[in-house]
Structure 1
Amino acid sequence: MADAIFRLDRIGVDYPTPAGTVTGLHDVSIDVPRTGITVFAGPSGSGKSTLLRVLGLFERPARGVLWFDGVDTGALRHSGRRALRREHLGLVFQNPAENLLDYLNVGDNLRAAAQSARRSCAPEEILARLGLGGTGDWHVSALSGGQQQRLAFGCAMARGSSVILADEPTSQLDEASADLVLDTLRSLAGQEFAVLVASHDDRLIDLGTRVARLRDGRLEGVEQR
């Protein structure tokens, strides 16, 4: 794929256990486009979260090659991988509280995210794009779970991330809060972001412009929409 932001060639991940080595990913090869929503779908234990950690450069694969925008990430030292994460990748965790600094207000969370990537941002502009206009001075705890997840995506935007990775972003939310996250993903899909999501939420999977299905650490197929 000429417009791929990630290219994976036979990626394998192993974990040592008392009973022996367990393989988390088996020779996964896939190209990830640089725009739209790519969903890694599958049941618990299918390897989708492991794959997201590999793509987020938090985990080195045991086998295979991972390219990010033409760069062989396996050839990079820890500092080089950290620089790529800081400058290009934004990660949104399952638990909204894990994504934010609860001692800062909403606007300062965005400013801190931008500063971590040596950037500046206009918090009210980002909040307006997220449907959170007027909340800049609010304490994070005043936001609902769905609003907190929206803010987490906003922090990735404030850092200037071209790729946003989200691990089960609706799994700990009620339906109304999950709707807010789905609306945010719809908005991001129309902008210049590569959004990569690991999920078994059918509504989120339906949003995917590309759906890669995994089972038992193996890529079963890819659906282009």
Structure 2
Amino acid sequence: MLYDVVRSVSARVGRGLYRPRIEGLANIPASGPVILAANHLSFCDSVVIPLAVPRRVHFLAKAEYFTGPGVKGRLSRSAFTALGAVPVDRGSGGGAMEALDIGLRRLKDGGVFSIYPEGTRSPDGRLYRGRTGVAHLALTSQAPVVPVGITGTEHIQPIGARLPRIAPITVRFGDPLDFSIGYGHLKTGRARRVATDEVMAAIGRLTGQEEAGVYNDRAAGY
């Protein structure tokens, strides 16, 4: 109930201020488990995706967003919880596996789980190499992966900016990728790498970003 209220109000405000261009919503299944794999340019990507998708979206967020003190901390905790965020301690040794386990549980329940294969925000607008956690989720759950290409959010809240700005946003949802068959002949690690590279290539076609060709060293393991 709270999610529906927050999403409805926030979506109206967001559409009024930013007039986002949203393409390919029909590619998201109306029911059943689905993984949304998106590029990551800004903090506000985690707000844009849940507001654009008609289904409830679960995504990972740093535990710090849920543990801040005072009024600001309570507002942050309430907002992220209402938007479907799941706290994870990215600084712990088991943080990556914990994140993947959370995702698998949400998918097993038939939900929508969003993940950034790059691991964290791009520091320069390029598309970095994907970590194989997205493939682990897809190959284990058999859920389809819908690639998501976001452009424009890097201008709304650049890294280091304290307040959001007004800028045009485009969110494109690509054709679902099915990894449930055709990968059994590959060894597990190789299958994850091949599937992840396919996901990243699909994201790149949606965004037109230059490929960095390397991992984002600032990223967590998932």
Shorter-chain-normalised TM-score: which range? Answer: 0.3 to 0.5
Larger radius of gyration: 1
TM-score normalized with structure 1 length? 0.35
Return the structure number with greater helix share.
Answer: 2
TM-score (norm 2): 0.35
Higher share in strand: 1
